[in-house]
Amino acid sequence: MPRPFHFNLQKVLDYRAQLEDQAKLAMAKAQHAHQQQVRLVGEINRSLVDHLETMSQAASLSAADIWLSRNYAKRLAGDLFQARQREAQLAQDVQTRRLELVEKAKERKLLEKLKETQAIRHEREENRKEQAEFDEMATLRYQAPAF
């Protein structure tokens, strides 16, 4: 009976699969944070556009109201700038996480390919041994005709 295949690096393969899962989770978190920041940039941008539109439509405002309105618009513009910078940082983080995930997947797939190759080699070797046993049994059972 052929002996079962045992992959010597199974624990390493399991560890690499675990690292890949962690990289997937980190990438998902980075993508979520980036999407949240994109929404925030959109909200700030809409607020700024709405405020500037409201300012342009206002007919008579006091000097204090104009000053407050301009300062508010400047603050929104500053917030928008910071939010866009943060969005760019998060986009870079997503890209970094994606590259890490690709690398982890390659490492895992490399070991899986090695495992498959060794399993095929093991199966061939076991089949060869089994065939050799059958040949030996056939040779021993064969009786030459008596002359």
Quote the pLDDT of residue 2. Answer: 74
Mean pLDDT of the chain: 93
For 81-102, how does the pLDDT look when each residue is reduced to its tens digit (9 = 90+)?
999 999 999 999 999 999 999 9
Q: Output the six-digit token pair for 26.
A: 């980190």
In eight-state DSSP terms, residue 125 is H
Phi-psi region of 3 (alpha: psi -120 to 50; beta: other; left: phi over 0): beta
Average pLDDT, integer, range 116-122: 96
pLDDT at residue 146 greater than cutoff 70: no
- For residue range 13-24, list pLDDT tens digits in order: 999 999 999 999
> Over 90: is that where the pLDDT of 137 sits?
no
pTM: 0.76
* Encoded amino acid at 85, one letter: Q
Give tens-digit pLDDT for 66-79: 899 999 999 999 99
In which residue are the tokens 């399991």 written? 14
- In order of 3, 56, 64, 85, the CA distances from 134 in angstroms are 17, 96, 103, 73
List the domain boundaries for the chain. 10-69+77-108
DSSP-based three-state secondary structure for 61? coil
**Phi-psi category of residue 19: left, alpha or beta, with phi > 0 → left and psi -120 to 50 → alpha:** alpha
